[in-house]
Amino acid sequence: MSVRYAWLKSLARPTAAIGALLVVGWLLVALLSRVLAPHDPLHSMIPLMTPGARGPDGAVFWLGTDALGRDVLSRLIFGARTVVVVATAATLTAYAVGISTGLLAGYFRGRVDTALSFFANVILSFPVLVLYIVIIVALGASAANVVLAVTFGSAPAIFRIVRAITIDLRSRDFIAAAITQGESTWRILLVEILPNSSGALIVDFCLRLGYSAITMGVLGFLGLGLPPPTPDWGGMVNEGRTMAFAFPHLVLFPCLALSSLVLGLSLLADGLRQSAGRMRRVG
């Protein structure tokens, strides 16, 4: 069965279906945030209202308000936008770097491979969280720097996966055939090799997207996330932590949101992996 289209069949399985539902759901929320959010996420109204409470003009705060009087539901919805945009950008960038270097290393081998593999190893030897913290502290907290930090942290692992697959595929007959036919290297890499690794990569992509989201959450929690007042789930947990006992809605909903998104991605990845066959975990 072609690995390429196995993932479509995988959606029929219940766990993968739930995962897909969650992911698509959050994606829609992120895309339609301006329409769905009942209030301006940056606008202060009445602080610390409990979920379901009614404001003076009759508007209901379904998830309550935070310490600065901003609607938690609206911040949650716009936070989805933040997470989806930044985590996706970060993961895609990491993938761009990882795939290009992995393809080159796996295809050409030799000195290129040695150098790139060594460099990837060096970065992988760094404790990831420290890498993130040092980058953010050195460069300041902003969306671009979060993307940079996550790229640094994830690209080497992706590099390894792509490299291993490339090495494996390179020895196959159809590649040898393509070479004899005189296809250019670029074509081989992009048209022959890359699509055939899509199965493993898509699985990894889903998982890595989840890790990026968690990383954003952790950075926000450590106070190194996106600058206020950007709605950011990790930042919301950070801000509400001290009042969590009296006002649990401040941390409960962002945690549930983040967990459900990552859960969706994990379930999806799990489902995809199962139907793509038992592929040896490489890298």
Partner 1 sequence: MASVSGYTSLPGWLLRRVAGMVLTMLTVSFLVFAVLELNIDDVAVKVLGQFSTVDQRQAWLQENGYNAPFLLRYLRWLGEFITGHWGTSTYYREDVLTLILPRLGASGILAGAALLAIVPVGLLMGIIAGVREGSAVDRLVSVFAIVTTSIPEFASAVFLTALFVFWLGWLPGVSTMADGFHLRELILPVSVLTLYSAGYIARMTRSSMVDVMQSPYIRTARLKGNSMRRVILHHALRNALITPVTVIMLQIPWLLSGVIVVEVFFAYQGFGTLLYQAALNTDIDLIEACTMVSVAVVVFTQVGSDLLYAWLNPRMSLRALGRSSGVR
Partner 2 sequence: MSEPPTGSPNAASAGQALENNDGSQLHPAARPLIQDALRGGTDRRSVLRVLSWLGVSVTSARALLGLTAVAADALPWRGQGSRPSGIPQSQAPRQGGILRFVCSVQQMTDPAATTWIEASNLFRNSVEFLTYVDSDNVTHPYLAESWHPSEDLKTWEFKLRDGVRWSNGDRLTVADVAFNINRWIAPSSKSPNRTTFAPITGIEALDELRFRLHLSRPICSLPEHLYAATCPILHRHFEEQGANWPRNPVGTGPFQLTDYHVSRIAVFKRRRDYWGRPAYLDEIRYLDLGTEVATHVAALAAGQVDLLYRVTISELDLVSRFPSMRLLTEPSAQTLVMRMQQDKKPYDDVRVRKAVVLSCDREQMLRLAYRNHGVLGEHHHVAPFHPDYFRLPPIKRDVAAARGLLAAAGYPNGIDLTLALGNTQGRYEQDTAQVLQQNCAEAGIRLTLQVIPAAEYWTIWDKVPFGISYWGHRPLGIMALELAYRSGSVWNESHFANARFDAALDKALGILDPRQRSLAMGDVERILQEEAVMVQAYFPRKFTVSSERVRGFRADPQDYYRMDGVWLA
164 near partner 1, rule: CB under 8 A: yes
Is the bond preceding 229 in cis, omega lying within 30 degrees of 0?
yes
Structure tokens at 140: 């300041």
Nearer to partner 1, 157 or 193 (CB): 157
- The residue within the footprint of partner 2, chosen from 55, 229, 248, 283 (CB under 8 A), is 229
Nearer to partner 2, 210 or 254 (CB): 254
Give per-residue burial for 256-283: e unless 16+ CB within 10 Å, then b.
ebbeebbbbbbbbbbbbbebbeeeeeeb
Nearer to partner 1, 34 or 278 (CB): 278
For residue 52, count other CB atoms closer than 10 A to its CB.
Answer: 11
Identify the residue whose tokens are 């949650």. Answer: 76
What Å distances lie between residue 125 and 17, 97, 129, 149, 216, CA to CA? 36, 18, 12, 15, 21
Nearer to partner 1, 50 or 121 (CB): 121
Structure tokens at 105: 């290393």
Binders of partner 2 among 17-46, rule CB under 8 A?
Answer: 42-44
Contact pattern for partner 1 over residues 235 through 254, marking x by CB under 8 A: --x---x--xx--x--x---
Contact pattern for partner 1 over residues 133 through 152, marking x by CB under 8 A: xx--xx--------------
How many whole angstroms from its chain centre is CA 50? 31
Question: Within 13 Å, how many C-alpha atoms sit on residue 59's CB side?
Answer: 16
108 near partner 1, rule: CB under 8 A: no
Nearest of 259, 257, 236, 258 to residue 247 by alpha carbon? 236
DSSP E strand boundaries for the chain:
53-54, 60-61
Rounded to a whole number of angstroms, the minimum distance from the CB of residue 215 to partner 2 is: 18
Gyration radius of the chain over CA positions: 22
Rounded to a whole number of angstroms, the minimum distance from the CB of residue 216 to partner 2 is: 15
Contact pattern for partner 1 over residues 261 through 280, marking x by CB under 8 A: -xx-xxx--x-------x--
- The residue within the footprint of partner 2, chosen from 239, 267, 271, 275 (CB under 8 A), is 239
Residues lying near partner 2 in the complex (CB under 8 A) are found at 42-44, 47, 67-69, 137, 140-141, 223-224, 227-229, 239, 241-243, 245-247
| Interface contacts to partner 1, rule CB under 8 A | 15, 109, 113-114, 117-118, 121-122, 124-130, 133-134, 137-138, 156-157, 164, 210-211, 214, 217-218, 221-222, 234, 237, 241, 244-245, 248, 251, 255, 258-260, 262-263, 265-267, 270, 278, 281-283
